[in-house]
């Protein structure tokens, strides 16, 4: 990585992966990024469930209607959860951890994609969160925010350029 600016320009949502597994060192670095994430009052309310088993990845596809079929082809899925009893801003804390995981994956040359779980439903109108809690036997107090799919890129996307930026959405001093 030449700079953080380059990293955030290169990070794109990747939904196609090769069948190459991740190295244990890469998985460890990715998890460290999540664990090193900042959190309100240093509460660290998150828990990360690491899934590499193809059978479980295939079942996770049914957690949400549309938008997550590619989970079956990723090398690694990290279910990002948090305990709201530890932090009233668990959504923000878990969101920061999710993007830190994605940035670390990109820094390693890997692709990733955030899959929103909170407030989503599967085709049977069952809460995506409840589906995942049942599938993975999660403790009742944990809330599921997202799944981060990670793997070797099976597609390339161009970086975001300065020409792509919507400066009209920046307001100085007032709207």
Check residues 54 and 2 and name the one with the higher pLDDT: 54
> What integer pLDDT is reported at residue 2 of this predicted model?
74
Triad 18, 22, 23: Cα angle to 5°: 145
The tokens of 156 are what? 């390339």
Domains of the chain, with CATH numbers?
14-155 (3.40.109.10)
Query: Is a pLDDT exceeding 90 seen at residue 126?
Result: yes
The tokens of 51 are what? 């899934």
Give residue-wise pLDDT tens across range 45-85.
999 999 999 999 999 999 999 879 999 999 999 999 999 99
DSSP bridge partners of 149? 77, 113
> What integer pLDDT is reported at residue 21 of this predicted model?
97
Got the DSSP string for the chain? ---HHHHHHH--B---B-SPPPPHHHHHHHHHHHHT---GGG---EEEEEE--HHHHHHHGGGSSSS-GGGGG-SEEEEEEE-TTT-TTHHHHHHHHHHHHHHHHHHTTEEEEEEE-TT-B-TTS-BHHHHHHHHHT--TT-EEEEEEEEEEBSS--PPPPGGG--GGG--SS--
Q: Give the rounded percent of residues in the chain with a pLDDT score beyond 70.
A: 99
Give residue-wise pLDDT tens across range 5-54.
999 999 999 999 999 999 999 999 999 999 999 999 999 999 999 999 99
The tokens of 23 are what? 């190295």
Q: Average pLDDT of 119-138?
A: 97
> What integer pLDDT is reported at residue 1 of this predicted model?
45
Mean pLDDT of the chain: 96
Instruction: In whole angstroms, give the CA distance from residue 57 to residue 49.
Output: 12
């Amino acid at each position: 990585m030449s700079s953080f600016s380059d990293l955030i320009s290169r990070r794109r949502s990747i939904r196609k992966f090769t069948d190459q597994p991740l190295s244990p060192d890469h998985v460890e670095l990715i998890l460290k990024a999540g664990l090193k994430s900042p959190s309100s009052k240093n509460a660290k309310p998150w828990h990360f469930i690491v899934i590499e088993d193809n059978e479980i990845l295939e079942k996770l596809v049914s957690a949400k209607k549309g938008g997550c079929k590619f989970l079956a082809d990723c090398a690694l899925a990290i279910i990002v959860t948090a305990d709201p009893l530890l932090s009233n801003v668990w959504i923000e804390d878990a969101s920061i951890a999710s993007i830190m995981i994605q940035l670390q994956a990109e820094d390693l040359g890997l692709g990733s994609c955030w899959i929103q779980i909170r407030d989503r439903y599967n085709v049977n109108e069952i809460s995506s969160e409840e589906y995942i809690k049942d599938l993975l036997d999660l403790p009742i107090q944990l809330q599921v925010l997202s799944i981060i799919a990670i793997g070797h890129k099976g597609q390339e996307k161009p970086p975001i350029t300065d020409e792509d930026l919507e400066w009209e959405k920046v307001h100085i001093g007032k709207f």
